[in-house]
Structure 1
Protein backbone atom coordinates (compact mmCIF):
# COMPACT_ATOMS: atom_id res chain seq x y z
CA UNK A 1 0.00 0.00 0.00
CA UNK A 2 1.24 3.48 -0.83
CA UNK A 3 2.35 5.19 2.43
CA UNK A 4 0.28 8.28 1.67
CA UNK A 5 -2.82 6.11 1.16
CA UNK A 6 -2.21 4.36 4.47
CA UNK A 7 -2.00 7.69 6.30
CA UNK A 8 -5.25 8.89 4.76
CA UNK A 9 -6.97 5.60 5.62
CA UNK A 10 -5.85 5.84 9.23
CA UNK A 11 -7.09 9.42 9.44
CA UNK A 12 -10.47 8.42 8.09
CA UNK A 13 -10.69 5.59 10.60
CA UNK A 14 -9.83 7.95 13.45
CA UNK A 15 -12.47 10.43 12.30
CA UNK A 16 -14.98 7.61 11.87
CA UNK A 17 -14.34 6.45 15.43
CA UNK A 18 -14.86 9.99 16.72
CA UNK A 19 -18.12 10.35 14.80
CA UNK A 20 -19.35 6.95 15.96
CA UNK A 21 -18.57 7.81 19.58
CA UNK A 22 -20.48 11.08 19.31
CA UNK A 23 -23.47 9.28 17.80
CA UNK A 24 -23.76 6.44 20.29
CA UNK A 25 -23.12 8.27 23.58
CA UNK A 26 -25.51 10.80 25.14
CA UNK A 27 -23.87 14.20 25.56
CA UNK A 28 -23.82 14.28 29.36
CA UNK A 29 -26.69 13.57 31.74
CA UNK A 30 -29.51 15.99 32.29
CA UNK A 31 -30.29 16.72 35.93
CA UNK A 32 -33.58 16.59 37.76
CA UNK A 33 -35.10 20.08 37.65
CA UNK A 34 -36.43 21.78 40.79
CA UNK A 35 -40.06 21.46 39.66
CA UNK A 36 -39.54 17.72 39.06
CA UNK A 37 -38.07 16.78 42.44
CA UNK A 38 -41.35 16.30 44.30
CA UNK A 39 -42.57 13.76 41.76
CA UNK A 40 -39.29 11.83 41.72
CA UNK A 41 -38.95 11.86 45.51
CA UNK A 42 -42.49 10.50 45.89
CA UNK A 43 -41.81 7.56 43.55
CA UNK A 44 -41.07 4.02 44.62
CA UNK A 45 -37.80 3.13 42.95
CA UNK A 46 -36.17 -0.14 42.00
CA UNK A 47 -33.41 -1.36 39.73
CA UNK A 48 -33.55 -3.46 36.59
CA UNK A 49 -30.42 -4.96 35.08
CA UNK A 50 -30.20 -5.11 31.31
CA UNK A 51 -27.11 -6.16 29.36
CA UNK A 52 -24.96 -5.69 32.46
CA UNK A 53 -26.21 -2.15 33.08
CA UNK A 54 -28.66 -0.96 35.72
CA UNK A 55 -31.77 0.98 34.75
CA UNK A 56 -33.72 2.79 37.46
CA UNK A 57 -37.48 2.22 37.58
CA UNK A 58 -39.97 4.69 39.09
CA UNK A 59 -43.50 3.74 40.14
CA UNK A 60 -46.39 5.79 41.47
CA UNK A 61 -49.93 4.98 42.52
CA UNK A 62 -51.60 1.73 43.55
CA UNK A 63 -50.38 -0.30 40.59
CA UNK A 64 -53.84 -0.40 39.03
CA UNK A 65 -54.30 0.97 35.51
CA UNK A 66 -50.56 1.28 34.75
CA UNK A 67 -49.35 3.86 32.24
CA UNK A 68 -45.80 3.59 30.96
CA UNK A 69 -43.82 6.79 30.34
CA UNK A 70 -40.81 6.36 28.04
CA UNK A 71 -38.18 9.11 27.81
CA UNK A 72 -36.05 9.91 24.79
CA UNK A 73 -32.35 10.29 24.08
CA UNK A 74 -30.42 12.52 26.52
CA UNK A 75 -33.50 12.75 28.73
CA UNK A 76 -34.81 11.05 31.87
CA UNK A 77 -37.99 9.91 33.65
CA UNK A 78 -38.26 13.12 35.69
CA UNK A 79 -39.22 15.07 32.57
CA UNK A 80 -42.66 13.48 32.93
CA UNK A 81 -43.23 15.00 36.40
CA UNK A 82 -46.26 17.07 35.36
CA UNK A 83 -47.79 14.17 33.46
CA UNK A 84 -47.26 11.93 36.48
CA UNK A 85 -49.19 14.32 38.72
CA UNK A 86 -52.11 14.51 36.28
CA UNK A 87 -52.26 10.77 35.71
CA UNK A 88 -52.35 10.15 39.46
CA UNK A 89 -55.28 12.57 39.76
CA UNK A 90 -57.09 10.53 37.11
CA UNK A 91 -56.54 7.26 38.98
CA UNK A 92 -53.74 5.81 36.86
CA UNK A 93 -50.47 4.33 38.09
CA UNK A 94 -47.55 5.83 36.15
CA UNK A 95 -44.41 3.77 35.60
CA UNK A 96 -41.20 5.13 34.11
CA UNK A 97 -37.46 4.46 34.00
CA UNK A 98 -34.06 5.97 33.39
CA UNK A 99 -32.47 3.98 30.57
CA UNK A 100 -28.76 3.08 30.75
CA UNK A 101 -26.58 6.12 30.21
CA UNK A 102 -29.41 8.42 31.31
CA UNK A 103 -30.64 9.92 34.57
CA UNK A 104 -29.62 7.80 37.56
CA UNK A 105 -28.92 4.64 35.56
CA UNK A 106 -25.46 3.17 35.08
CA UNK A 107 -23.59 2.86 31.80
CA UNK A 108 -22.58 5.47 29.27
CA UNK A 109 -25.02 4.60 26.48
CA UNK A 110 -27.99 2.44 25.55
CA UNK A 111 -29.60 0.80 22.54
CA UNK A 112 -33.03 0.22 21.10
CA UNK A 113 -32.70 -3.41 22.18
CA UNK A 114 -32.08 -2.40 25.80
CA UNK A 115 -35.11 -0.11 25.72
CA UNK A 116 -37.16 -3.01 24.39
CA UNK A 117 -35.91 -5.36 27.08
CA UNK A 118 -36.73 -2.86 29.83
CA UNK A 119 -40.20 -2.16 28.44
CA UNK A 120 -40.84 -5.89 28.01
CA UNK A 121 -39.86 -6.61 31.60
CA UNK A 122 -42.04 -3.78 32.92
CA UNK A 123 -44.92 -5.20 30.90
CA UNK A 124 -44.30 -8.61 32.45
CA UNK A 125 -44.36 -7.11 35.95
CA UNK A 126 -47.24 -4.67 35.57
CA UNK A 127 -49.39 -6.36 32.95
CA UNK A 128 -50.95 -4.68 29.94
CA UNK A 129 -50.54 -0.91 30.03
CA UNK A 130 -53.57 1.34 29.86
CA UNK A 131 -51.36 3.51 27.68
CA UNK A 132 -47.78 4.24 26.75
CA UNK A 133 -46.69 7.88 26.55
CA UNK A 134 -43.37 8.16 24.73
CA UNK A 135 -41.07 10.95 23.59
CA UNK A 136 -38.59 11.10 20.72
CA UNK A 137 -36.39 7.96 20.57
CA UNK A 138 -38.75 6.50 23.18
CA UNK A 139 -41.47 6.38 20.52
CA UNK A 140 -39.28 4.30 18.22
CA UNK A 141 -38.56 1.96 21.13
CA UNK A 142 -42.26 1.74 22.02
CA UNK A 143 -43.36 0.62 18.56
CA UNK A 144 -40.46 -1.83 18.42
CA UNK A 145 -41.58 -3.26 21.78
CA UNK A 146 -45.19 -3.58 20.62
CA UNK A 147 -43.98 -5.85 17.84
CA UNK A 148 -42.31 -8.01 20.49
CA UNK A 149 -45.39 -8.73 22.56
CA UNK A 150 -45.91 -5.63 24.71
CA UNK A 151 -49.59 -4.64 24.88
CA UNK A 152 -51.13 -1.25 25.56
CA UNK A 153 -54.58 0.27 25.26
CA UNK A 154 -53.44 3.46 23.55
CA UNK A 155 -50.30 5.39 22.65
CA UNK A 156 -49.24 9.02 22.87
CA UNK A 157 -46.29 9.73 20.55
CA UNK A 158 -44.53 13.03 21.23
CA UNK A 159 -41.77 14.49 19.00
CA UNK A 160 -41.44 11.14 17.25
CA UNK A 161 -38.13 9.90 15.90
CA UNK A 162 -39.64 7.80 13.08
CA UNK A 163 -36.81 5.38 12.43
CA UNK A 164 -33.09 4.72 12.71
CA UNK A 165 -32.46 5.96 9.20
CA UNK A 166 -33.80 9.37 10.20
CA UNK A 167 -31.51 9.40 13.24
CA UNK A 168 -28.41 8.79 11.13
CA UNK A 169 -29.49 11.20 8.38
CA UNK A 170 -30.23 14.01 10.84
CA UNK A 171 -27.01 13.41 12.76
CA UNK A 172 -24.95 13.31 9.59
CA UNK A 173 -26.51 16.52 8.28
CA UNK A 174 -25.97 18.27 11.59
CA UNK A 175 -22.33 17.18 11.68
CA UNK A 176 -21.79 18.04 8.03
CA UNK A 177 -20.47 14.54 7.35
CA UNK A 178 -19.18 13.63 3.94
CA UNK A 179 -20.91 10.63 2.31
CA UNK A 180 -18.05 8.20 3.05
CA UNK A 181 -18.15 9.05 6.77
CA UNK A 182 -21.92 8.63 6.86
CA UNK A 183 -21.55 5.18 5.31
CA UNK A 184 -18.79 4.33 7.76
CA UNK A 185 -21.09 5.38 10.61
CA UNK A 186 -23.88 3.14 9.31
CA UNK A 187 -21.45 0.25 9.06
CA UNK A 188 -20.18 0.76 12.60
CA UNK A 189 -23.73 0.89 13.95
CA UNK A 190 -24.55 -2.39 12.19
CA UNK A 191 -21.33 -4.10 13.23
CA UNK A 192 -20.66 -2.75 16.73
CA UNK A 193 -24.06 -1.80 18.17
CA UNK A 194 -26.54 -4.14 16.48
CA UNK A 195 -24.56 -7.18 15.30
CA UNK A 196 -26.79 -9.92 13.95
CA UNK A 197 -29.82 -7.64 13.63
CA UNK A 198 -30.77 -8.33 10.04
CA UNK A 199 -32.46 -5.51 8.12
CA UNK A 200 -32.31 -3.17 11.12
CA UNK A 201 -32.86 -0.11 8.93
CA UNK A 202 -36.31 -1.46 8.07
CA UNK A 203 -37.26 -3.13 11.35
CA UNK A 204 -36.15 -0.27 13.63
CA UNK A 205 -38.94 1.95 12.36
CA UNK A 206 -42.27 3.18 13.63
CA UNK A 207 -43.69 2.37 10.20
CA UNK A 208 -42.53 -1.24 10.04
CA UNK A 209 -45.59 -3.51 9.89
CA UNK A 210 -47.74 -0.46 10.61
CA UNK A 211 -50.92 -2.30 9.67
CA UNK A 212 -50.45 -4.60 12.66
CA UNK A 213 -50.64 -1.67 15.10
CA UNK A 214 -54.34 -1.03 15.67
CA UNK A 215 -54.05 0.88 18.92
CA UNK A 216 -55.59 4.35 19.28
CA UNK A 217 -52.78 6.84 18.75
CA UNK A 218 -52.34 10.53 19.55
CA UNK A 219 -49.42 12.31 17.87
CA UNK A 220 -48.05 15.55 19.32
CA UNK A 221 -45.28 17.56 17.68
CA UNK A 222 -44.02 21.13 17.92
CA UNK A 223 -43.71 23.33 14.85
CA UNK A 224 -40.37 24.63 16.14
CA UNK A 225 -38.81 21.27 16.99
CA UNK A 226 -35.14 21.74 16.16
CA UNK A 227 -34.23 18.06 16.45
CA UNK A 228 -37.05 16.22 14.67
CA UNK A 229 -38.83 18.31 12.08
CA UNK A 230 -42.59 18.73 12.37
CA UNK A 231 -43.12 16.94 9.08
CA UNK A 232 -42.30 13.68 10.85
CA UNK A 233 -45.25 14.16 13.18
CA UNK A 234 -47.56 14.64 10.20
CA UNK A 235 -46.02 11.61 8.52
CA UNK A 236 -46.72 9.41 11.57
CA UNK A 237 -50.28 10.71 11.99
CA UNK A 238 -51.09 10.08 8.34
CA UNK A 239 -49.58 6.59 8.36
CA UNK A 240 -51.75 5.50 11.29
CA UNK A 241 -54.83 7.65 10.67
CA UNK A 242 -54.17 9.28 14.04
CA UNK A 243 -55.06 12.63 15.51
CA UNK A 244 -52.24 15.16 15.30
CA UNK A 245 -51.83 18.02 17.75
CA UNK A 246 -49.28 20.63 16.67
CA UNK A 247 -47.85 22.94 19.32
CA UNK A 248 -45.79 26.11 19.03
CA UNK A 249 -42.76 27.48 20.86
CA UNK A 250 -42.03 24.38 22.98
CA UNK A 251 -39.37 22.85 20.75
CA UNK A 252 -38.20 19.28 21.20
CA UNK A 253 -37.66 19.11 24.95
CA UNK A 254 -39.88 21.63 26.73
CA UNK A 255 -42.93 20.05 25.13
CA UNK A 256 -43.15 17.31 27.78
CA UNK A 257 -43.84 19.76 30.60
CA UNK A 258 -46.10 22.11 28.65
CA UNK A 259 -49.53 22.45 30.32
CA UNK A 260 -51.32 22.13 26.98
CA UNK A 261 -49.54 18.87 26.25
CA UNK A 262 -50.33 17.45 29.68
CA UNK A 263 -53.96 18.42 29.06
CA UNK A 264 -53.91 16.65 25.70
CA UNK A 265 -52.52 13.49 27.30
CA UNK A 266 -55.19 13.59 30.03
CA UNK A 267 -58.00 14.22 27.55
CA UNK A 268 -56.83 11.39 25.32
CA UNK A 269 -56.65 9.02 28.29
CA UNK A 270 -60.23 9.77 29.30
CA UNK A 271 -61.83 10.19 25.87
CA UNK A 272 -63.79 7.77 23.76
CA UNK A 273 -61.04 7.13 21.26
CA UNK A 274 -63.43 5.61 18.77
CA UNK A 275 -64.55 9.16 18.06
CA UNK A 276 -61.04 10.35 17.22
CA UNK A 277 -60.35 10.78 13.53
CA UNK A 278 -57.56 12.24 11.53
CA UNK A 279 -57.55 15.78 12.82
CA UNK A 280 -54.94 18.49 13.23
CA UNK A 281 -55.11 21.04 16.03
CA UNK A 282 -52.75 23.81 17.08
CA UNK A 283 -52.04 24.52 20.74
CA UNK A 284 -50.03 27.69 21.26
CA UNK A 285 -47.55 28.03 24.08
Structure 2
Protein backbone atom coordinates (compact mmCIF):
# COMPACT_ATOMS: atom_id res chain seq x y z
CA UNK A 1 0.00 0.00 0.00
CA UNK A 2 1.18 3.51 -0.84
CA UNK A 3 -0.06 7.05 -0.23
CA UNK A 4 -0.88 9.36 -3.13
CA UNK A 5 -0.76 13.16 -2.80
CA UNK A 6 -2.05 15.19 -5.73
CA UNK A 7 -3.86 18.35 -6.82
CA UNK A 8 -6.41 17.86 -9.60
CA UNK A 9 -7.28 20.74 -11.92
CA UNK A 10 -10.09 20.92 -14.46
CA UNK A 11 -9.47 23.12 -17.49
CA UNK A 12 -10.40 23.53 -21.14
CA UNK A 13 -8.54 21.73 -23.90
CA UNK A 14 -7.01 24.99 -25.09
CA UNK A 15 -5.87 25.86 -21.57
CA UNK A 16 -4.49 22.34 -21.22
CA UNK A 17 -2.40 22.82 -24.36
CA UNK A 18 -1.11 26.18 -23.12
CA UNK A 19 -0.35 24.77 -19.66
CA UNK A 20 1.62 21.88 -21.18
CA UNK A 21 3.75 24.23 -23.26
CA UNK A 22 4.34 26.59 -20.32
CA UNK A 23 5.31 23.83 -17.88
CA UNK A 24 7.63 22.21 -20.39
CA UNK A 25 9.42 25.54 -20.76
CA UNK A 26 10.22 25.78 -17.03
CA UNK A 27 13.66 25.08 -15.60
CA UNK A 28 13.87 21.51 -14.34
CA UNK A 29 11.06 20.31 -16.63
CA UNK A 30 11.34 17.36 -18.99
CA UNK A 31 8.81 15.60 -21.23
CA UNK A 32 7.60 12.26 -19.93
CA UNK A 33 5.71 9.43 -21.53
CA UNK A 34 2.59 9.80 -23.66
CA UNK A 35 0.20 6.89 -23.21
CA UNK A 36 -3.29 5.85 -24.21
CA UNK A 37 -5.00 4.54 -21.06
CA UNK A 38 -8.14 2.39 -20.95
CA UNK A 39 -9.63 2.19 -17.45
CA UNK A 40 -12.52 -0.06 -16.43
CA UNK A 41 -14.09 0.56 -13.01
CA UNK A 42 -15.84 -2.20 -11.09
CA UNK A 43 -18.52 -2.24 -8.41
CA UNK A 44 -21.57 -4.19 -7.31
CA UNK A 45 -25.04 -3.48 -8.65
CA UNK A 46 -25.75 -1.57 -5.43
CA UNK A 47 -22.53 0.47 -5.68
CA UNK A 48 -21.23 -1.01 -2.42
CA UNK A 49 -17.65 -0.02 -3.18
CA UNK A 50 -18.61 3.56 -3.84
CA UNK A 51 -20.56 3.73 -0.59
CA UNK A 52 -17.36 2.64 1.15
CA UNK A 53 -15.61 5.58 -0.54
CA UNK A 54 -13.36 3.29 -2.54
CA UNK A 55 -12.70 2.82 -6.26
CA UNK A 56 -11.51 -0.31 -8.04
CA UNK A 57 -10.23 -0.31 -11.61
CA UNK A 58 -8.09 -2.14 -14.12
CA UNK A 59 -5.96 0.12 -16.30
CA UNK A 60 -4.62 -1.03 -19.65
CA UNK A 61 -1.61 0.73 -21.14
CA UNK A 62 -0.49 -1.14 -24.22
CA UNK A 63 0.04 -4.76 -23.18
CA UNK A 64 0.31 -3.89 -19.48
CA UNK A 65 -2.59 -4.27 -17.02
CA UNK A 66 -2.65 -2.72 -13.54
CA UNK A 67 -5.34 -3.47 -10.96
CA UNK A 68 -5.78 -0.56 -8.52
CA UNK A 69 -7.80 -0.01 -5.37
CA UNK A 70 -8.06 3.55 -4.03
CA UNK A 71 -9.74 5.13 -1.04
CA UNK A 72 -11.32 8.58 -1.25
CA UNK A 73 -8.89 9.79 1.39
CA UNK A 74 -8.86 13.38 2.63
CA UNK A 75 -8.48 16.89 1.26
CA UNK A 76 -5.53 18.72 2.84
CA UNK A 77 -4.28 22.17 1.77
CA UNK A 78 -5.57 21.88 -1.77
CA UNK A 79 -4.37 18.31 -2.31
CA UNK A 80 -5.93 14.88 -2.09
CA UNK A 81 -4.19 12.33 0.13
CA UNK A 82 -5.31 8.76 -0.57
CA UNK A 83 -4.35 5.20 0.19
CA UNK A 84 -3.66 3.16 -2.91
CA UNK A 85 -2.93 -0.49 -3.71
CA UNK A 86 -1.57 -1.48 -7.14
CA UNK A 87 -0.89 -4.90 -8.64
CA UNK A 88 0.23 -6.00 -12.08
CA UNK A 89 -2.23 -8.51 -13.52
CA UNK A 90 -2.11 -10.59 -16.72
CA UNK A 91 -5.36 -9.36 -18.31
CA UNK A 92 -8.37 -7.04 -18.01
CA UNK A 93 -10.05 -9.53 -15.66
CA UNK A 94 -10.14 -8.85 -11.92
CA UNK A 95 -7.82 -10.93 -9.75
CA UNK A 96 -10.03 -11.59 -6.73
CA UNK A 97 -7.18 -13.18 -4.79
CA UNK A 98 -5.46 -9.79 -4.57
CA UNK A 99 -8.59 -8.13 -3.20
CA UNK A 100 -8.87 -10.86 -0.59
CA UNK A 101 -5.76 -9.37 1.01
CA UNK A 102 -7.52 -6.04 1.62
CA UNK A 103 -10.28 -4.93 3.98
CA UNK A 104 -12.82 -5.35 1.16
CA UNK A 105 -12.87 -9.09 1.66
CA UNK A 106 -14.28 -8.69 5.16
CA UNK A 107 -17.53 -6.93 4.27
CA UNK A 108 -18.11 -7.29 0.52
CA UNK A 109 -19.16 -10.18 -1.70
CA UNK A 110 -16.36 -9.97 -4.25
CA UNK A 111 -18.28 -12.20 -6.64
CA UNK A 112 -20.83 -9.42 -7.16
CA UNK A 113 -18.27 -7.06 -8.69
CA UNK A 114 -18.69 -6.17 -12.35
CA UNK A 115 -17.79 -3.35 -14.81
CA UNK A 116 -19.74 -0.10 -14.33
CA UNK A 117 -18.04 2.55 -16.48
CA UNK A 118 -14.81 3.42 -18.30
CA UNK A 119 -12.46 6.41 -18.33
CA UNK A 120 -10.44 6.36 -21.53
CA UNK A 121 -7.91 9.07 -22.25
CA UNK A 122 -4.49 10.04 -23.50
CA UNK A 123 -2.03 10.92 -20.74
CA UNK A 124 0.80 13.31 -21.54
CA UNK A 125 3.35 13.86 -18.77
CA UNK A 126 5.76 16.62 -17.81
CA UNK A 127 8.20 15.85 -14.99
CA UNK A 128 9.23 18.79 -12.81
CA UNK A 129 12.33 18.72 -10.62
CA UNK A 130 12.80 22.16 -9.08
CA UNK A 131 15.41 21.09 -6.54
CA UNK A 132 12.88 20.91 -3.70
CA UNK A 133 10.44 18.36 -5.08
CA UNK A 134 9.83 16.05 -8.00
CA UNK A 135 6.30 16.47 -9.37
CA UNK A 136 4.56 14.53 -12.10
CA UNK A 137 2.26 16.76 -14.16
CA UNK A 138 -0.20 14.46 -15.94
CA UNK A 139 -2.44 15.92 -18.64
CA UNK A 140 -5.46 13.64 -19.23
CA UNK A 141 -7.67 14.23 -22.28
CA UNK A 142 -10.41 11.87 -23.39
CA UNK A 143 -13.83 10.74 -22.20
CA UNK A 144 -15.79 8.97 -19.49
CA UNK A 145 -18.24 6.39 -20.82
CA UNK A 146 -21.08 4.36 -19.32
CA UNK A 147 -23.15 2.35 -21.77
CA UNK A 148 -24.06 4.67 -24.63
CA UNK A 149 -23.46 7.83 -22.61
CA UNK A 150 -20.20 9.74 -22.54
CA UNK A 151 -18.81 13.06 -21.29
CA UNK A 152 -15.50 14.75 -22.14
CA UNK A 153 -12.54 14.60 -19.78
CA UNK A 154 -9.79 17.22 -19.55
CA UNK A 155 -7.71 17.35 -16.37
CA UNK A 156 -4.25 18.13 -15.09
CA UNK A 157 -2.94 16.34 -12.02
CA UNK A 158 0.07 17.51 -10.02
CA UNK A 159 1.30 14.44 -8.12
CA UNK A 160 4.13 14.59 -5.61
CA UNK A 161 6.74 11.93 -6.31
CA UNK A 162 9.29 13.07 -3.74
CA UNK A 163 10.32 16.10 -1.73
CA UNK A 164 8.43 19.00 -0.17
CA UNK A 165 4.65 18.63 -0.57
CA UNK A 166 4.22 22.42 -0.31
CA UNK A 167 5.69 22.68 -3.82
CA UNK A 168 2.43 21.33 -5.25
CA UNK A 169 0.69 24.57 -4.28
CA UNK A 170 3.66 26.67 -5.38
CA UNK A 171 3.41 25.29 -8.90
CA UNK A 172 -0.38 25.46 -8.96
CA UNK A 173 -0.16 29.17 -8.09
CA UNK A 174 2.41 29.77 -10.80
CA UNK A 175 0.19 28.05 -13.35
CA UNK A 176 -2.87 30.04 -12.21
CA UNK A 177 -1.14 33.17 -13.49
CA UNK A 178 -0.87 31.59 -16.94
CA UNK A 179 -4.15 29.77 -17.68
CA UNK A 180 -7.65 29.50 -16.16
CA UNK A 181 -8.63 26.37 -14.24
CA UNK A 182 -10.32 25.33 -11.03
CA UNK A 183 -9.39 22.80 -8.35
CA UNK A 184 -11.83 19.90 -8.69
CA UNK A 185 -12.53 17.56 -5.77
CA UNK A 186 -14.69 15.24 -7.89
CA UNK A 187 -12.58 12.26 -8.95
CA UNK A 188 -12.78 10.50 -12.30
CA UNK A 189 -14.49 7.63 -10.48
CA UNK A 190 -17.16 9.93 -9.01
CA UNK A 191 -17.76 11.40 -12.47
CA UNK A 192 -18.23 7.88 -13.81
CA UNK A 193 -20.67 6.92 -11.07
CA UNK A 194 -22.65 10.10 -11.74
CA UNK A 195 -22.78 9.33 -15.46
CA UNK A 196 -23.92 5.77 -14.73
CA UNK A 197 -26.76 7.19 -12.64
CA UNK A 198 -25.93 5.27 -9.47
CA UNK A 199 -24.36 7.94 -7.28
CA UNK A 200 -24.57 11.64 -6.49
CA UNK A 201 -21.92 13.39 -4.36
CA UNK A 202 -22.98 13.92 -0.76
CA UNK A 203 -22.34 17.13 1.21
CA UNK A 204 -19.24 17.17 3.38
CA UNK A 205 -19.64 16.81 7.15
CA UNK A 206 -21.00 19.91 8.87
CA UNK A 207 -17.74 20.42 10.75
CA UNK A 208 -15.70 20.77 7.53
CA UNK A 209 -14.19 24.24 7.13
CA UNK A 210 -15.77 26.79 4.78
CA UNK A 211 -12.92 26.66 2.26
CA UNK A 212 -13.17 22.89 1.82
CA UNK A 213 -16.97 23.09 1.58
CA UNK A 214 -16.61 25.81 -1.06
CA UNK A 215 -14.20 23.69 -3.10
CA UNK A 216 -16.53 20.70 -2.86
CA UNK A 217 -19.61 22.78 -3.67
CA UNK A 218 -17.94 24.25 -6.77
CA UNK A 219 -16.97 20.74 -7.90
CA UNK A 220 -20.54 19.48 -7.47
CA UNK A 221 -21.84 22.55 -9.34
CA UNK A 222 -19.53 21.71 -12.23
CA UNK A 223 -20.69 18.08 -12.20
CA UNK A 224 -24.46 18.48 -12.12
CA UNK A 225 -25.22 22.21 -12.38
CA UNK A 226 -26.72 22.38 -8.89
CA UNK A 227 -26.01 25.27 -6.53
CA UNK A 228 -26.26 23.32 -3.29
CA UNK A 229 -26.98 24.69 0.16
CA UNK A 230 -23.43 23.59 1.02
CA UNK A 231 -22.01 25.92 -1.64
CA UNK A 232 -24.31 28.84 -0.80
CA UNK A 233 -23.46 28.68 2.90
CA UNK A 234 -19.73 28.40 2.24
CA UNK A 235 -19.80 31.37 -0.14
CA UNK A 236 -21.58 33.47 2.48
CA UNK A 237 -18.92 32.68 5.07
CA UNK A 238 -16.06 33.32 2.67
CA UNK A 239 -17.39 36.70 1.53
CA UNK A 240 -17.04 38.02 5.06
CA UNK A 241 -13.53 36.60 5.32
CA UNK A 242 -12.48 38.21 2.06
CA UNK A 243 -13.95 41.56 3.07
CA UNK A 244 -12.12 41.29 6.37
CA UNK A 245 -8.79 40.87 4.55
CA UNK A 246 -8.09 37.52 6.19
CA UNK A 247 -7.07 36.03 2.84
CA UNK A 248 -3.39 36.25 1.94
CA UNK A 249 -2.44 39.14 -0.33
CA UNK A 250 -2.69 37.11 -3.53
CA UNK A 251 -6.46 37.03 -3.04
CA UNK A 252 -7.00 40.82 -3.08
CA UNK A 253 -10.39 42.49 -2.45
CA UNK A 254 -11.28 41.88 -6.10
CA UNK A 255 -11.77 38.20 -5.36
CA UNK A 256 -15.10 39.00 -3.70
CA UNK A 257 -16.31 39.90 -7.19
CA UNK A 258 -15.41 36.41 -8.36
CA UNK A 259 -17.90 35.01 -5.85
CA UNK A 260 -20.49 37.41 -7.28
CA UNK A 261 -19.59 36.20 -10.77
CA UNK A 262 -20.13 32.60 -9.69
CA UNK A 263 -23.56 33.48 -8.27
CA UNK A 264 -24.58 35.29 -11.45
CA UNK A 265 -23.16 32.66 -13.82
CA UNK A 266 -22.97 29.33 -11.96
CA UNK A 267 -20.68 27.63 -14.50
CA UNK A 268 -17.23 27.16 -12.91
CA UNK A 269 -15.43 26.81 -16.24
CA UNK A 270 -16.66 30.27 -17.27
CA UNK A 271 -15.53 32.12 -14.12
CA UNK A 272 -12.12 33.53 -14.98
CA UNK A 273 -9.76 33.51 -12.01
CA UNK A 274 -11.65 30.85 -10.04
CA UNK A 275 -8.53 28.74 -9.59
CA UNK A 276 -6.57 31.75 -8.37
CA UNK A 277 -9.32 32.51 -5.87
CA UNK A 278 -9.32 28.91 -4.62
CA UNK A 279 -5.57 28.99 -4.12
CA UNK A 280 -5.80 32.30 -2.26
CA UNK A 281 -8.54 30.92 0.00
CA UNK A 282 -6.24 28.14 1.17
CA UNK A 283 -4.66 30.79 3.39
CA UNK A 284 -7.93 31.41 5.29
Task: Judge same fold: TM > 0.5, yes or no.
Answer: no
Instruction: Identify, as 1 or 2, the structure richer in helix.
Output: 1
Of structures 1 and 2, the one scoring higher in RCO (CA 8 A, sep 6+) is 2
Q: Normalized against structure 1, the TM-score is what?
A: 0.30
Q: Give the strand-richer structure, 1 or 2.
A: 2
